[in-house]
Amino acid sequence: MPHPDLKETVKSLALEMGFDLVRVTTAQEFTADRQAALERIQSGQMDGLPWYTPQRVIRGSQPQELLPGARSVICLGLNYYPGEDPPPAGDEPTGKIARYARGRDYHRLIKSRMKKYVAVLRENCAATDGYTGQEIAARWYVDDGPMLDRAAANRAGLGWFGKNSNILTPQLGSWVFLGQVITNLAIPPDPPLNKTCGNCARCIPACPTGAIVAPYVIDNSRCISHLTIENRGPIPPELRPLMGDWVFGCDICQEVCPVNRKAKPTANTDLGRQELATVDLITLLQLSDAGFLDRFRGTPIMRAKRVGMQRNACVAIGNRQDPIAIPALSEALLHAEPLVRSHAAWALGQIGGTDATAALQQAASHEQEPQVQQEIRAALTAAAEVKAGVKKAPSRSHSTRHSRESGNPHPRKTEGQRGTENPPEKTPSPW
């Protein structure tokens, strides 16, 4: 009786372990992707990520540096799409959370699954054609490791680079977590996909902050995901009105992507908790450390920390301009953290009116922190402009439109987005 094929076994075991996609590439260096990533760092487009260094990129572009003797990289994909968003409940102001964060911390989830997968590989590969008898060595990574994960997924044919720099998969769109298992097994590689985004560029104008500065090029310092998660300081005032009601991450460039019309909800119960689709902004602003931990324990949202999320809540409230939040914002002017006080002042200035102005004037009489004092003065000016009718409301075109679309991130495909097979030119690497 013939032995099963090594590659067939590698793939079938991955699917049995609950991964949705699996492809294989070689362990050769990712030369072009390394160069692109180093250029992004040099140009300042990765500012705000001090851990993303040239040394990290160089190491992550060399699988054989990560695992001596590496011969293959098994690229894995896990669907996290939670399905259509539920309609908002009640009239309280709410903020949106990116879909990837509405469940268990995916780093732990995927690493645990990959560890079990490698153990199963070691148990089963010895009985396959193509196994040469060596002890199976492996290391596995998610996006918190140095591995250039999207470069590997692209070369393996798991998907292709979208102009928003996400990996787009034919089966699940971009709603996938990526993982890689580097191994010394010599597995025949899969070819890259012969696909690009063609003439479609919907994601570029859709980004409200202009973070997609060119096809495949992201200015990290303008990205809402960075501003609400990795950024630990104040959000630049000129970007706040453009952020809408996102309080953790952003899905806009994915929501408008025609490839994502194919998305199917994940069957994984650890992902896609619909109760985390939105959060009550006033409740979020008033959470204690214990309350924050109780609400978001075990989710990626913990990365932004309570203070960061309360800063983000202030920005979302200011963009919604809902007077119902004035008491909570007034209370936030007494917050222990200057970061929250300053953004609460900004939000009150956006809302304007007698009560907001009174709260700002009261805060101005006792605030000692220079940065917060500056924000209060600017907010009083903004409130006066609102009262005089000379201040325009924050642009809601993106926030409102995408709030409507977020329940159905499957936009119709127009003629301009058809025909992505046989691309006219090679897609440049974002990394």
Active site residues: 143
CA distance 45 to 217: 9
Which tokens go with 120?
């199963």
